[in-house]
Structure 1
Amino acid sequence: MTVRFWAAGFRAHQSVRQSLWVVPLLGGLLGVVLAGADLWLEGRISLPPEWSYSESTASSVLSSAAAAMVGLIGFVVTIGVLVVQMATGTLSPRFMRLWYRDRLQKFVLATFTATFTFAFALLRQVESDSVPDLGISLVGLAVGIDLILLLLYFDRFVHALRPVAVAAAMAQAGLAIEAEEDDLVADAGAGDHADRRGAVSSRVPAPRSGAIQDIDIAGIVRFAAARDQLVVIPHTIGDFVIAGSVMMEVHGAAAGEADLRRLARMVSLGRERTIDQDPAFALRILVDIAIRALSPAVNDPTTATQVLNYIGALLLGIGASDRAFRGTALDTDGRVRLVLRTRRWAEYLELGVTEIRQYGAFSPQICRRLRAMLEELRAGVLPARREAVQSQLEALDRATDAAFADPFQRALARMSDRQGLGAARLGEDSDARR
C-alpha cells in the first residue's frame, strides 16, 4: 500500500508541477470562498463612511475588475506562447518542461483568477439596498497587487529567458541535485558486488515504455531487506526503457508476481527525462543551448562561450565530489540492497564537451574558452579524474589543428582564454608556440 501511495503521489506531484491549470483553478476556488467570507462579514462590521459605495459605482468597479482580470490572464497566456517560440528557436525544447514549473507564473495566474471569481461573485450580490462595501475595497486592493505581480512577471520573463540566465539556472539546479544527501551511500560499480549477488532469481519487466524519472531508493532498500534480496537496476536515471524489457533484477529469494509489481511501481516512468534526480539532464540542456548558438543559421559563438562558463561550473562541481557517482544503497545493517548504474566522470565530461568541440572547432573563441575550461577542470577535479580531462585536451588539440591550416590562426586558437577572445595574448601559452 505504501508503494502504491508513493507511485501515485509522485505522478500526482509531477502532474501538478508540470500543469498550468491546477494552481489557477485553486485560485479561482479560493476567490469564491473569500467572497462568501466577505459577505458573511459585511453585516457584522461597520466601515467608515468614505468606504461606502453606490450601487452603480459598485457594479462598475466589480465589472471592470472582472474584465481586467480576463485580459491579464490572456496577456500571461500570450507570454507563454512567446516562451514556447523562443525556447524552440533559441534555447532548447527540453527547457520547456522546466518553464512549466515556474512558481511565479502559476502564482500570477492563480491571483488573477482569484480576483476574477471574487469580483464576479460579489457582483451578483449588488442590489439597490445592499452593497458589499468591504468587498469592493478589497477588489481595488487586489487589482493593485495584481498589477504589481504583472510587472514582476514581465520583468522575469524579459530577464530570465536570456540564454545566459537559463544557463545559470540550469547549472544551479544541476549542482543542487548533485549536492543532495540521498540513500546512495557507497561509491561502487556493478562489478564490485558481482560475487555477492548469486544468480538472478527474478526479473522485473517495465510496465510501459518511458524514461526513468524517479526511483524510490529508500522503498527498494526496505523491500529488499525484508526479503534478504539484492535489487539491481541496470539503467541510469534518464534512460528510456521499452515496455516488457528488464527494468530490474532480483538476486536472492525468488519474488512473486505481486512483489514484482510492487518493485515496478517504485520506478516512475514518463514521456521524457526530468531534472529531479538527473543532473546530467541539466548538462544536456546547457549543451543544447550552446550547440544551437554554434549552428550556421545562428552563428553566435559568444552565447556559446557564456554557456561554457556554466558548463564548466557544473562539471567542476560534479568532478570534485563523489556524490554523483555513488552506485549502491545499504540497509540499516550495512548490507548492500540496491545496485544502481550511475554515470561516471568521463560520461559527464564527454556529454559536456564533445558536441561543443565538434561544432565549435572552427571558432577560435570556442577553442580558447573550451581549453581554459578543461585546464580549470584538470586542476580542480579529483586526481583520479584528471586523465579523462587530459584526453579531452588532446582531442581539442587535434580538432584545432585540423580546423586551422594557417600557423598563426592555429596558434591563436590553441591559447587558453576565459573570455574566448580578449583575455590572452600570443606567446602567453606554451601551446600557442608549438
Structure 2
Amino acid sequence: MLSADRLRFVFSRIKERLWVKPLMLSGLSVGGAFIAKLADNLGFSGVFPEVSLESVESLLSIMASSMMVIATFAVGSMVAAYASASASATPRSIPLVIADDVTQNALSAFIGAFIFSIVSLIAIQNQMFDSAGRFAIFALTLLVFAIVVITFVRWVDRIARLGRVVNTIEQVEKAAGDALDRRRHAPTLGALTVSPRQAEGKGLPVYSPTVGYVQHIDLETLQSHAEALKCHATVTALPGTFVCAGRPLLRIDEGLDELLEGSDEESQAFKPDAFASAFTINPNRTFDDDPRFGLLALSEIADKALSPAINDPGTAINVIGALVRLFTLWQSPREENALQKITYDRVSIPELVIEDMFDDAFTAIARDGAGLVEVSIRLQKAFCALAETGDDAMITAAKKHSRMALDRSKHALSLQDDIDAVVAAASPLSLGLQDKITR
C-alpha cells in the first residue's frame, strides 16, 4: 500500500541520490539521438535545409571532448562543497546540500550532453541519417549546447556559495521551516490526539525489528490494520525517535482483548510485524517529517561556530535569528482551510512538545556561548521576542531557558559590566512578562 504521503517521503529520498537525475538525462539523450531518425522517416528531406556531415561531426566532437572535462570539474567542485559543508557547518546538513536542484541539474546536463554527443556521433559516422536526420541532429545539438551554457552560468553562481556556512544555514532553515509548517497544519498527522504520558500507558507494545531512527510513519497502513482487527493503535515513537529492542513503536488497545480471546483464525490474524511495517527506520534522521531535527541541525551549526577552533560568534547569532523565525512560524495563525482533518480515527499520535523543541534549539548555544557577551545578549533578546508571541507554553519555555542561559553567563563571564548587560537584556522577560507566565 503506497499512500500519497509515503510517495512524498520516497520521492524526497530519491532526490538525495546524485545518480537519479543524470541517469534520467542520459536516457533522454540516447532517445533524442534516435528521435532524429523520425525526420527521415516522415519525409522531411525536401523541407529541411541541407547540413554538411563534416559540420555536424565537428560540433559533436567538440561537445563530446569538452563535456566530460566539465562534468569531471563539476564533480570535483561538488565534493569540495560537501566537504566544506561538513567541516564548517554540520554533517547533518549534507543531504540538503546534495539535494540542491541547481547542482544536480548542472551535473545531469553535462553528463547528458556528453552521452548525446557520443551516441549521435556514432550514429552519424555509421550513415544512420539522411539529410533531414542530419539537420535534426544539428538542431538538437544547438539546443543541447544552449541548455549547457545556461546551466553552466547558473551553476557557477551556485557552486560559489554551495557548502558555505551562510548558504547551509539557509538550506537547513528552509527544510526545518517546511517540516514545521506541515506539522503545524497537521499536529497529529491526521490522527487523533493523545498526550505523551497517555501514549506510554496501557496496551500491547509493538517493538521495532531494527535499531535506528524513525523517519516516517505510514498512517494509512496503521489505519488499515486497525480497522481490519477492530482495535486502536497509539503511536509512541514519533519521527526522529531512536528505537531499539526495549522502545515500543506503538501500543495496541481497545478491542485487543476480544481479538486475542476470540477464535484461532482471529488470533492468528493479529501480527505485530504488520503494524511495525508502517514505520520506516534507518540509521540516520531526515528533515521531512522530523521538525526537531532541523532545529537540532541549526543548533549544531551554531555550536561548532562557537568552538575555540573556529571562534565565529557571528554565525551563532545568525542561527539564533533563524531559530526565532522558525518558532515564530510555529506560532503563526493557521489557515483553517489548510488544517488537516482527522482521517485516521483508529490511530492516536502525541503532538510535539514546545519545551523539547526549545531544548533542541537553544541548550547547546546557551552552554557554549555563555562566555561570549554578544551571544548571551542575543539569546536573551531571542527569548523575549518568542515570549511576546503570547503562547503560554512558549512563554514558559522561554522563561526557563532565559533563566538557565543567564545563570550560565553569570558563571562564564568575568567582567561585571558584561554580566549587567546580559541581565538587562533578560529583564523584560523576567519582569514585564511575569504576570502572563504565572497566570
Q: Which of 181-190 and 206-215 deviates more?
A: 181-190
Are positions 1:260 and 2:272 aligned together? yes
What displacement does 1:377 show?
0.6
Deviations 1:7-50 (A, max 9, x none): 9967853552221112211111111111111122145324888x
Where does residue 44 of structure 2 map in the other structure? 45
Question: How far 1:53 moved relative to its partner?
Answer: 3.6
The aligned amino acid for 1:45 is F
Question: Could you tell me how far apart the structure 2 residues matched to 1:22 and 1:402 are?
Answer: 52
Aligned residue for 1:340?
349
Do the aligned residues in 2 keep the contact of 1:34 with 1:118 (CA within 8 Å)? yes
Summarize the Cα distance change of 1:119–1:229 in structure 2 as closer, same or farther, 3 Å threshold: same
Structure 1 residue 296 corresponds to structure 2 residue 308: yes
Residue 350 of structure 1 deviates from its aligned partner by 1.4
Q: Determine whether 1:392 maps to 2:401.
A: yes
Of 114, 125, 143 in structure 2, the residue corresponding to residue 141 of structure 1 is 143
Q: CA deviation at 1:116?
A: 2.0
Change (3 A) 1:122 1:93: same
8 Å CA contact retained: 2:292, 2:357:
yes
Q: 1:67 to 1:415 in 2, by over 3 A?
A: farther
TM score, norm. by length of structure 1: 0.84
What SS does the corresponding residue of 2:425 show, helix, strand or coil?
Answer: coil
Q: Is the 2:194–2:351 contact (alpha carbons within 8 Å) kept by the matching residues of 1?
A: no
Q: Does structure 1 retain, via aligned residues, the 8 Å contact 2:64–2:118?
A: yes
Correspondence list, 1:225-304, <5 A:
225-242=227-244, 246-251=248-253, 252-253=255-256, 254=260, 256=268, 259-304=271-316
How big is the shift at 1:112? 2.3
The alignment status of 1:354 with 2:353, answered yes or no, reads no
User: What are the residue-to-residue correspondences of 1:108-257 with 2, within 5 Å?
Assistant: 108-127=106-125, 130=130, 132-180=134-182, 181-182=185-186, 183-184=189-190, 187-192=193-198, 200=203, 202-242=204-244, 246-251=248-253, 252-253=255-256, 254=260, 256=268
Retained in 2: the 8 A contact 1:291–1:359? yes
Structure-1 separation of matches of 2:400 and 2:313: 24
Where 2:62 maps in the other structure, the secondary structure is helix
Equivalent-residue separation in structure 1 for 2:23 and 2:370 (angstroms)? 50
CA-to-partner distance for each residue in 1:251-286, whole Å, 9 max, x for gaps?
A: 132464664222122111112011111111111111
Inter-CA distance 379–428: structure 2 relative to 1 (3 Å threshold): closer
Residue 59 (structure 1) aligned with residue 57 (structure 2): yes
Query: Do the aligned partners of residues 329 and 211 (structure 1) sit closer, same or farther apart at CA in structure 2, a change above 3 Å counting?
Result: farther
Query: Do 1:293 and 1:304's aligned partners in 2 also have CA atoms closer than 8 Å?
Result: yes
Structure 1 residue 68 displacement after superposition:
1.7
Query: Relative to structure 2, which stretch is displaced further, 75-84 or 165-174?
Result: 165-174
Please name the residue that 1:314 is paired with. 326
Match of 1:18 in 2: 16
Asked whether the 8 Å contact 2:25–2:109 carries over to 1, the reply is: yes
Q: Secondary structure at the match of 2:124?
A: coil
Distance 1:73 1:296, change over 3 A: same
- Shift of residue 173, structure 1, vs aligned partner: 2.5
Number of aligned residue pairs: give it: 408
Is 1:405–2:407 an aligned residue pair? no
Equivalent residue, structure 2, for 1:378: 387
Deviates more, 1:134-143 or 1:19-28: 134-143
User: Secondary structure at the residue paired with 1:249?
Assistant: strand
Distance 1:331 1:269, change over 3 A: same
For residues 101 and 184 of structure 1, the distance between their equivalents in structure 2, rounded to whole angstroms, comes to 28
Q: Matches of 2:401 and 2:159 in 1, distance apart?
A: 37
- For 1:189, the aligned partner's letter is S
Cα deviation for residue 104 of structure 1 reads 2.4
In 2 relative to 1, CA 257–96 (structure 1 residues): closer, same or farther, beyond 3 Å? farther
Alignment-mate amino acid for residue 221 of structure 1: Q
- The structure-2 alpha-carbon separation of the partners of 1:248 and 1:282, relative to structure 1 and needing over 3 Å to count, comes to same
Gaps of 5+ in 1: 418-426
The answer to whether the 8 A contact 1:31-1:117 is kept is yes
Q: TM-score, normalised by structure 2?
A: 0.83
CA–CA separation in structure 2 for the residues paired with 1:20 and 1:351: 30
Deviations 1:308-347 (A, max 9, x none): 1101111222355799xxxx99557xx5x22334431111
Q: Which stretch has the larger CA shift, 22-31 or 339-348?
A: 339-348
- Structure 2: which 5+ residue stretches go unaligned? 261-266, 432-439
The share of aligned pairs that are identical, in percent, is 21
For the Cα contact (< 8 Å) 1:330–1:338, is it kept in 2? no
Cα deviation per residue 1:39-98 (whole Å; 9 max; x = unaligned)?
A: 22145324888x644333222211111122212211221122112210121011011112
Residues 139-177 of structure 1 show CA distances to partners (whole Å, capped at 9, x for unaligned) of 123122212112212212223543233323322322222
The amino acid of 2:418's aligned partner reads Q
Query: Contact 1:23–1:110 (CA<8 Å) still a contact in 2?
Result: yes
8 Å CA contact 1:55–1:128 kept in 2: the answer is no
Amino acid at match of 2:330: I
Distance 1:94 1:429 in 2: 33
Aligned to 1:31: 29
Change (3 A) 1:262 1:7: farther
The one-letter code matched in structure 2 to 1:278 is D
Distance in 1, matches of 2:61 and 2:283, equals: 43
Check 1:26–1:292 CA distance in 2 against 1; reply closer, same or farther (3 A cut).
Answer: same
One-letter amino acid of the structure 1 residue matched with residue 329 of structure 2: G
* Contact 2:371-2:409 at 8 Å conserved across structures: yes
